Amino acid sequence: MAPVYEPWDATRGAEIIAEHTHLEGATLVILHALQEAFGYVPEPAIPMIAHALNLSRAEVHGVFTFYHDFRHEPAGRHVLKLCRAEACQAAGGDTLAARAEAKLGIAMGNTTADDRVTLEPIYCLGLCATAPSAMLDGRVVGRLDEARIDALVAEAQR
Amino acid sequence: MSLRIFVPRDAGAVAVGADEVALALGRTASKRGVEIEIVRTGSRGLYWLEPLIEVATPQGRVAFGPVTESDANSVLAAMIADGAHPLRLGLTDEIPWLKRQTRLTFARCGVIDPRSVEDYRAHDGYKGLERALTLSSDAILADVTASGLRGRGGAGFPTGIKWKTVAQTSADQKYIVCNADEGDSGTFADRMIMEGDPFVVIEGMTIAGITVGATKGYIYIRSEYPHAIEAMKAAISAAKRAGYLGARIGGSAHSFDLEVRVGAGAYVCGEETSLLESLEGRRGIVRAKPPLPAHKGLFGKPTVINNVLSFAAIPFILAGGAKAYADFGMGRSRGTMPIQLAGNVKYGGLFEVAFGITLGELVDEVGGGTFTGRPVRAVQVGGPLGAYFPRALFDTPFDYEAFTARDGLIGHGGIVVFDDSVDMVKQARFAMEFCAIESCGKCTPCRIGSTRGVETIDKIRAGNRVPENIAVIEDLCNTMKFGSLCALGGFTPYPVMSALKHFREDFGPAPTRLQAAE
């Protein structure tokens, strides 16, 4: 199931920010909440967060850009994350990652031209004893082989 | 009669179809008109047998695995008839791989319903806290110190001393922080315990809180662990409802509250000071020490920051087990270590055992070698910052000091097995590349050294002035090891240098000495 996101709306964004301003060190919590609602963190939200938390825009921008998770633009309809860390490498993950790239016609870290699939590396899902592993839109899949990776790619392309 | 069937909800089991098996069991039971109760537990940690499902019998739980959706009907029939089945593994407690372990921290994982405080209590849960509430802070500290527990995140710092420092520092507010940013590849013990027995982590943190006088705690969980986040949040709500968190816990004068915070995909946030920065809502930039977090931690307040497994070991110790805990182990490594066997390994999973077992026993006997059936060539112990060990060092006992003596580290207890198809130059390059991707950028050796490391290893792979470039790598590693602020830059040399030292042949022809002319 592809996640469904709301289109960016400043009023809704302000509401989400206001829900969390009472927390200690709220910046990451707010960025997560915005991304959960809109699928990414829209640029206009940065000065809004800064204002709400009495921080500079530069500080919030710094946090936003430091972490790999936060998206600057919407991802494809489906996000396929392949674990690229050592345990999955040991179990043949490199070959499967190359196979997924070839099937989708994109390199790791990119989105297909039709905006259907974003393919991303992830460094460890903690499924190292059922490696190689992947995550499709939040669903975890282990013991990947050629057939399973093909099925995952096909599912993401639908 | 209703059958009680246990199906794991652990992410590792779900990744190989546990949810589908649970649904199929429900369908086939209603078709047969049999009443069943499905309890979703954590994992027992025998991942090659996942989904491993169990049924309660008068003799104890009987296991079946690995069960697929299409096996559900026949497995249920075998459960009803108490009959034979190709996937029947017998009594779970008698499975040799499980029986050989010493499960102190993981005693309940895979056994209880991780959403139920009652189930936790029925399996000796909250006995540690109940006893701790009758003790003085000093008496609790004495128990933690006597147990010999050392930080399970990797650094191995004595937990008792850390807690004592925070207890002795006076402040208007103190914090307990649980480091659940388990980013090391090959490790999943934190994830398993949070998903399978979250109350043990809560209980351990609560004991820490009453010991040092902290009223607020945070669990910082990496975003790659959605199942663990859900499990911890549910457990915190359940503990609050049962009066084990909040004001006047367990009817005492102590208050303690917990909150889950989610990371955002930065490996460096597993480093404690970087984690604190992140919790404060900033970039995960490492802090220089001193001041120690025990003196100036979260928001500048005295803070106990420990790994998930350190907190999870506390309830057993406080329930009167300090001496029993210390009786296990070797040298200065006391107690048990939940070891994780991963990668290309036949029998991968969670193996909790007293310190002192050798690497060879773990890889060959417990792990059964590789699943590809090819010979084991290298194992990486302790995550992306851990050294690669060749077979020649398989006599190394699992012990903090023994690994240090051989230029390695046990880290968080993960062992990743590689067969003979591994290219060790590629692995060395990956270590540098990973450090370059994840470096927080504060210190030069890590930020620039890792990028130069990738470039230099690329030259070696291309056969370009190999001996000279190996000398550059050695020099670079030396600078990173002694010049970096934290373990990311400081320990990246371990995988690189161990690959170079033990697998020199992969790096191209050895330097030929100039022969004197005849």
Question: Among B10, B16, B48, B224, which would you mutate to test the A interface (most chain A Cβ atoms within 10 Å of its Cβ)?
Answer: B224
**DSSP label at B364?**
I
Residue of A nearest to B278 (CA): A28
A78-157 classified as CATH 3.40.30.10: yes
Alpha carbons B495 and A78: distance in angstroms, whole number: 35
Q: Per the CB < 8 Å rule, is B284 touching A66?
A: yes
* pLDDT of amino acid B511: 56
* pLDDT of amino acid B510: 63
At B22-66, the pLDDT tens digits run 999 999 999 999 999 999 999 999 999 999 999 999 999 999 999
Residues of A in CB contact (< 8 Å) with B are 24-29, 31-32, 53, 59, 62-63, 66-70, 83, 85-92, 122-131, 133, 138, 140-143
Q: Per the CB < 8 Å rule, is A68 touching B265?
A: yes
- Phi and psi at B368, nearest 5°, equal 70, 20
Alpha carbons B241 and B497: distance in angstroms, whole number: 52
CA atoms B60, B63, B69, B72: torsion sign:
negative
Contact B388, B380 (CB under 8 A): yes
Q: Per the CB < 8 Å rule, is A126 touching B349?
A: no
- Which residues of chain B neighbour A138 with C-beta distances below 8 Å? 226
* pLDDT of amino acid B1: 65
At B237-292, the pLDDT tens digits run 999 999 999 999 988 999 999 999 999 999 999 999 999 999 999 999 999 999 99
Residue B92 has pLDDT above 90, yes or no: yes
Mean pLDDT of B111-123: 98
Please report which confidence band the pLDDT of residue B516 belongs to, taking 50, 70 and 90 as the band edges: very low
Which helix (H) or strand (E) segment is B390 a member of? strand B388-390
- Which residues of chain A neighbour B186 with C-beta distances below 8 Å? 85-87, 128
Alpha carbons B278 and B281: distance in angstroms, whole number: 5
Alpha carbons B425 and B420: distance in angstroms, whole number: 13
Please name the member of B224, B283, B438 whose beta carbon is closest to the beta carbon of A62: B283
Per-chain mean pLDDT for chain B: 96
At B326-360, the pLDDT tens digits run 999 999 999 999 999 999 999 999 999 999 999 99
Domains of chain B: 3-99 (3.40.30.10), 117-327 (3.40.50.11540), 329-419 (3.10.20.600), 424-507 (1.20.1440.230)
SS (HEC) of B112-170: CCCCCHHHHHHCCCCHHHHHHCCCCHHHHHHHHHHHCCECCCCCCCEHHHHHHHHHHCC
Give which of B403, B37, B420, B440 is closest to A90, Cα–Cα: B420
Q: Can you read off the two tokens belonging to residue B340?
A: 């994780």
Please report which confidence band the pLDDT of residue B515 belongs to, taking 50, 70 and 90 as the band edges: very low
- Which residues of chain B neighbour A25 with C-beta distances below 8 Å? 279-282, 299
B516 touches chain A (CB under 8 A): no
Domain(s) of CATH 3.40.30.10: residues in chain A: 78-157
At B425-470, the pLDDT tens digits run 999 999 999 999 999 999 999 999 999 999 999 999 999 999 999 9
Give which of B383, B384, B381, B430 is closest to B403, Cα–Cα: B381
**Amino acid in position A142:** G
**Amino acid in position B76:** L
Q: Per the CB < 8 Å rule, is B266 touching A138?
A: no
At B125-170, the pLDDT tens digits run 999 999 999 999 999 999 999 999 999 998 899 999 999 999 999 9
Contact B140, B208 (CB under 8 A): no
Please report, for residues A121, A149, B152, the alpha-carbon distance to residue B382 in angstroms, rounded to integers and kept in the order given. 21, 28, 11
Which helix (H) or strand (E) segment is A81 a member of? strand A78-83
User: Under 8 Å CB-to-CB from B306, ≥6 apart: which residues?
Assistant: B151, B152, B153, B159, B162, B177, B178, B179, B208
Mean pLDDT of B362-376: 98
Q: Is B381 helix (H, G, I), strand (E, B) or coil?
A: strand
Contact B298, B177 (CB under 8 A): yes
Alpha carbons B142 and B384: distance in angstroms, whole number: 35
Contact B350, B192 (CB under 8 A): yes
Question: Among A23, A27, A28, which would you mutate to test the B interface (most chain B Cβ atoms within 10 Å of its Cβ)?
Answer: A28
ipTM field? 0.97
Alpha carbons A143 and A127: distance in angstroms, whole number: 9
Question: Among B218, B416, B421, which would you mutate to test the A interface (most chain A Cβ atoms within 10 Å of its Cβ)?
Answer: B416
Mean pLDDT of B178-205: 97
What are the mean pLDDT values of chain A's consecutive 10-residue runs (158 residues total)?
A: 91 98 97 98 98 98 97 97 96 97 97 97 96 96 97 95
**DSSP label at B387?**
P
Alpha carbons B367 and B349: distance in angstroms, whole number: 8
Please report which confidence band the pLDDT of residue B509 belongs to, taking 50, 70 and 90 as the band edges: confident
CA atoms B369, B398, B416, B310: torsion sign:
positive
* pLDDT of amino acid B512: 54
CA atoms within 13 A on the CB side of B215: 9
User: Under 8 Å CB-to-CB from B400, ≥6 apart: which residues?
Assistant: B150, B156, B332, B333, B355, B409, B410
Model confidence pTM above 0.90: yes
Residue B517 has pLDDT above 50, yes or no: no
- Phi and psi at A70, nearest 5°, equal -80, 130
Q: Is B324 helix (H, G, I), strand (E, B) or coil?
A: helix
DSSP A90-156: HTTHHHHHHHHHHHHTS-TTEE-TTS-EEEEEES--S-GGG-S-EEETTEEE-S--HHHHHHHHHHH
Shortest Cα distance, chain A CAs vs residue B133, angstroms: 28
Contact B105, B200 (CB under 8 A): yes
Alpha carbons B215 and B200: distance in angstroms, whole number: 18
Alpha carbons B90 and B92: distance in angstroms, whole number: 6
Q: Per the CB < 8 Å rule, is B280 touching A129?
A: no
Q: How many CB atoms are located within 10 Å of the residue B461 CB?
A: 18
Which of B:33-62 have CB within 8 Å of A?
A: 47-48, 50
B373 touches chain A (CB under 8 A): no
* pLDDT of amino acid A3: 86
Give which of B129, B395, B330 is closest to B120, Cα–Cα: B129
Shortest Cα distance, chain A CAs vs residue B70, angstroms: 17
Q: Per the CB < 8 Å rule, is A69 touching B223?
A: yes
B58 burial level (CB within 10 Å; 0-12, 13-18, 19+): exposed
Q: Give the total residue count for chain B.
A: 518
User: Under 8 Å CB-to-CB from B86, ≥6 apart: which residues?
Assistant: none
B224 touches chain A (CB under 8 A): yes
